């Protein structure tokens, strides 16, 4: 018998559904090294958010918020770097970004929604 791909029983994610959010999380993780990947990630998140619903939409919302909040942290860090405290802000941003992406990837792998994607914390 052939196996049906896509959604599995009880609304569990199929590989097709979770591929784009995974790619966006990876783009965010490498964005401190290759800056444009974060911008590409948020554009893709905006495009795919419109076609998603439920738990998957929470991931796109979380990713979009991560980009914009991260941009605020980064701009503040760069501006404050002239008085040296900005390096601490940039270090915080880097750790914050990693924690948010890992949290999102974990929830995505478990087929769960991100809880409170609107929060500034992780």
Report yes or no on 35 lying in a domain. yes
Q: Are 74 and 90 in contact (CB under 8 A)?
A: yes
Those residues of the chain that have pLDDT short of 70 are 1-15, 120-122
Residue 39 makes CB contacts below 8 A (sequence gap 6+) with 67
- The per-residue pLDDT for 54 is 86
Report yes or no on 119 lying in a domain. no
- The per-residue pLDDT for 68 is 95
Report yes or no on 2 lying in a domain. no
Exposed, middle or buried: residue 113 (CB in 10 Å: 0-12, 13-18, 19+)? middle
Report yes or no on 115 lying in a domain. no
Domain that holds residue 46: 15-109
- The per-residue pLDDT for 5 is 35
- The per-residue pLDDT for 15 is 62
Number of independent structural domains in the chain: 1
């Amino acid at each position: 018998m052939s196996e049906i791909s896509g959604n599995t029983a009880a609304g569990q994610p199929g590989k097709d559904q979770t591929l784009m959010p995974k790619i966006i999380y990876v783009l965010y993780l490498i964005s401190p090294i290759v800056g444009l990947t974060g911008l590409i990630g948020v554009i893709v998140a905006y495009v795919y958010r419109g076609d998603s619903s439920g738990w998957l939409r929470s991931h796109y919302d979380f990713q979009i918020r991560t980009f914009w909040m991260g941009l605020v942290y980064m701009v503040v860090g760069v501006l404050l770097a002239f008085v040296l405290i900005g390096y601490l802000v940039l270090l915080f941003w880097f750790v914050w970004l990693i924690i948010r992406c890992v949290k999102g990837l974990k929830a995505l792998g478990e087929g769960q929604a991100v809880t409170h994607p609107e929060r500034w914390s992780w």
